[in-house]
Amino acid sequence: MYQPPHHAETRTEVVHALIRAHPLGLLVSNGADGPIANPLPFLLDADIGPHGRLRAHLSKANQQWRQIAEHPEEPVLVVFQGVNTYITPSWYATKRETGKVVPTWNYAIVQAQGRARIIDDRDWLAGQINELTGTHEAGRDQPWHVSDAPEPFIEAQIKGIIGLEIDIVSLTGKWKVSQNRPVADREGVVRGLNAERTDAPSAEMAEIVREYSDGAAR
C-alpha cells in the first residue's frame, strides 16, 4: 500500500479498533491460478503474537480455502475499510486564496498480512460462530443466539463451513484525513462535513479530521 509518512497510523490499539469497528475484511490470497478475494467477517484476538490473530470461517463451497491449503507458504492479505468520504475543494480556504485545489477522498484503512491456517474441527467452528454471533448481537434488546435454532440445523450448517486463522505478521494503518492540508483548509473540511451530518460517515470523518488536526492522535 502506498504510504506517505504523514498518513501512517502505527498505534496498534488504534488499528485494532478499526478492525473491530469494521470487521468485514477482504481476504486476498494467491495461488497457481492467480489471486482470489472474498469478504469475510473476522474476529480479532489482540493478545496473540505481536500484532494479533484473525479468525473467520468460509463456506466449503468457496474454493479460496482450498487455494490457501494448497499454498501454505503464500502469505494472505486482509483489508479492512474504515470510514471514507469525498472531500470537495470548495471547503478549502486555499480555493478562495489561489484556486489551486482539487477534490480528494479521505479514508481510514488497515491491511493485515500473515500466514493462514485452515481448520476443519467441529468444536472450533462451533466456538467461532457462537463468538461471532454473540459479538454482533450484543446490545440488542432481544439478541439472537445460535442455540435459538434447532440443533440438527446448526450441525448441518457447521458441516458446510471451514475455519481460518491468520497470525498477523504485518499490520499497516493508513489514515488519509487531510493532514497534508493547511490548518485553514482542515478547519473548512470539518465545517463542511458537519454541515452534511445527514449521514454518519460525514460526522465520523469530521471528528477524525479534527482529532488528527489537533495533534491529539499523533
Query: Do 76 and 27 touch, CB atoms closer than 8 A?
Result: yes
Report pLDDT for 218.
Answer: 43
CB of 169 within 8 A of CB of 114?
Answer: yes
Domain that includes residue 164, residue range:
5-87+103-180
- Is 58 part of any domain? yes
- Report if residue 138 sits inside a domain: yes
Does residue 191 belong to any structural domain of this protein? no
95 within some domain: no
Query: DSSP class of residue 50?
Result: T
The pLDDT assigned to 215 comes to: 60
Domain assignment present for residue 59? The answer is yes
Roughly how many angstroms between the first and final C-alpha of the chain, as a whole number?
21
Amino acid at 149: A
What's the domain count of the chain?
Answer: 1
> Residue 31: what are its φ and ψ, rounded to 5°?
-150, -165
Query: For the chain (length 218 residues), average pLDDT per consecutive 10?
Result: 94 97 97 92 96 98 96 94 96 93 97 97 98 95 96 97 98 96 95 84 94 66
Non-local (6+) Cβ contacts of 97 within 8 A are: none
User: In this structure, is residue 188 part of a structural domain?
Assistant: no
Cβ atoms 2, 107 nearer than 8 A: no
Looking up cell 457462537 gives: 130
Instruction: Say how far apart CA 38 and CA 28 lie, in whole Å.
Output: 7
Domain harbouring 114, CATH code:
2.30.110.10
Which residue type occupies 179?
Q
Residue 185 belongs to a domain: no
